[in-house]
Structure 1
Amino acid sequence: MAGKKVLIVYAHQDPGSFNAALKKAAVEELSKQGCLVTVSDLYAMDFEPRTMKKDFMGPLSDPEHFNYALEAYQAYQQKALSPDIMAEQEKLLEADLVIFQFPLYWYSLPAILKGWMDRVFCQGFAFNFPKYFESGLLKGKRAVLSITTGGPANTYSKTGSRGDIRCYLWPIQHGTLHFCGFQILAPQISFAPDRVSQEEREGMVAAWVRRLAAIWEEAPIDCTAAWYFGQ
């Protein structure tokens, strides 16, 4: 897949972490394929996760009653978003595939990654009305979550103590990424890497590399409620 462009949005503090190993393996495998790989290392970038007035370079439309979503929409139209937001949007526009690499925090995203989505996926750029879901403005791009968990696989099932992991992927995959038009690939979940042997961790990395070797041939999931709740 020479010439394909991949963006890896990476959210882990430690360059020696298992998440870092998965990110490194993805960069190496996809680069070997001839892909152009860009990494947004959010912690290394000191990316600002908070939505604030300083995200807008021009005057606010209603400074007395601050509505972030409305101001972001108008600022995008006027090319007046802050440079850090516009830089991430440019990376997204160029990408054919976006990989989100992160540890699961409280059944959800790390705050820095949630803030990246809050600030970058603004109306006008990622979606509009009625342009969302299949008509979302980022349609034609693919997205895949590569997640690490704290608990073993059997705890993330319908009968497990944490419940079916698909249920809490719904707001991330469907409510955010699919809403913006992405085609969603099945998540890559590395269960409890801190609780297994080095050999098992190496096996998890190898499995990710094998999958990436054929990632361009994968069909997206049927990103409907049935995939998350109907199994």
Structure 2
Amino acid sequence: MKILWVFAHPERRSLGGSLLTEALRTLESLGHEHRTSDLYRMGWKAVVDADDFGDLGGRSCERLLVGAEQERAYAERSLSEDIRREQEKITWADTLVFQFPLWWFGPPAILKGWFDRVLVQGFGFGLKGPDGRTLRYGEGGLAGKRALVVTSVGARESGFGPRGIHGQLDQVLFPLLHGTFWYTGMAALPPFVVYGADRLTAADYAREAAELRERLHTLHATDPLPFHHENGGAYDEDLVLRPELAPGLSGVGVHR
């Protein structure tokens, strides 16, 4: 496999950094090709602005229309060089891994900025099929690729369970798993989660590292989360799940 590992943690001597070292060593032992984007070490710019889109001065532009400028600059190959490098890595890879600590129930701002700046309209989304259908939620610019979250949280696992106070983790991560991965066409794999990260003992770490190695050994065979395709007949013309699917239920869980 060809794996792009996107790492978003400011400290390489952290738990996350240690797991990254374990993971890359494992990928090499399995014969997989891998490339890494260590966002903090790269000094990744986390905010979208006009500098992303090349020279705007030659055109009449009363205000910055981000989606339109993304699509134009992508088509004209005038996106900033850092964005184009990351898009080239994505195109090369068949599997993307996003490793980050869960901060305020989501990824750190630097990784959110990577999504904002790299998965631009025309590349990650905003594509049309030959029949004019919008290609998203199972189709789109990144269809055929797989995506895995590797994350650590300070809380106990029970707090992220079905009745846990923090909310069920797959639903906490729904904006990423469904709204980013699946939206752009990537098949979302079940996340790898380290709970109680701030309290791990050496024995705990050894167990977690072994479990991560095992996940990577079986990565090619892991079944993705079974989200419904937008264009697969599960949704009506208003993009509402048809009543015969998950009858009587509501919330993000019905989309699986």
Q: TM-score range by the shorter chain?
A: over 0.9
**Structure 2 Cα separation of the partners of residues 164 and 79 of structure 1:** 41
Q: CA deviation at 1:62?
A: 4.8
Q: Structure 1: how far apart are the matches of 2:252 and 2:66? A: 31
- Could you say if the C-alpha distance between residues 21 and 106 of structure 1 is closer, same or farther in structure 2, counting changes exceeding 3 Å? same
- Cα deviation for residue 228 of structure 1 reads 5.3
Q: Per-residue displacement from partner, 1:62-91 (whole Å, max 9, x unpaired)?
A: 532111121111110111100000000000
User: Is the 1:58–1:75 Cα contact (8 Å) retained in structure 2?
Assistant: no
Report the RMSD for the aligned CA atoms in angstroms: 1.7
User: Once the 2 structures are TM-superposed, how far is the Cα of residue 59 of structure 1 from its aligned partner?
Assistant: 2.2
* 1:167-206 aligned within 5 A: 167-206=171-210
1:1-231 paired onto structure 2 within 5 Å: 4-59=1-56, 62-129=60-127, 130-224=134-228, 229=253
Distance 2:166 2:225 in 1: 23
SS in 2 for 1:180: coil
Amino acid at match of 1:72: Q
Q: 1:228 to 1:144 in 2, by over 3 A?
A: farther
8 Å contact kept, 1:166–1:228: no
1: CA distance, partners of 2:34 / 2:252: 30
Q: Which runs of 5+ in 1 are unaligned?
A: none
> Are 1:104 and 1:149, in contact at CA under 8 Å, matched by a contact in 2?
yes
Question: Partner amino acid for 2:215?
Answer: R
| Count of equivalent residues | 228
Q: Mean Cα displacement is larger for which, 85-94 or 150-159?
A: 150-159
CA distance, structure 1, for counterparts of residue 14 and residue 67 of structure 2: 35
* Residue identity matched to 1:12: H
The list of structure 1 runs, each at least 4 consecutive aligned residues, that deviate by more than 3 angstroms after superposition, is 224-228
Q: Tell me the residue number matched to 2:237.
A: none
> How many angstroms does 1:110 deviate by?
0.4
Q: CA deviation at 1:196?
A: 2.5
Question: Relative contact order: is structure 1 or structure 2 higher (C-alpha 8 Å, sep ≥ 6)?
Answer: 1
Does the Cα contact within 8 Å between 1:12 and 1:103 map onto a contact in 2? yes
Contact 1:185–1:220 (8 Å) recurs in 2: yes
Residue 218 of structure 1 and its aligned partner are, at CA, apart by 1.2
Q: Quote the Cα distance in structure 1 between the aligned partners of 2:197 and 2:126.
A: 39
**Could you state the TM-score of these two structures normalised by the residue count of structure 1?**
0.94
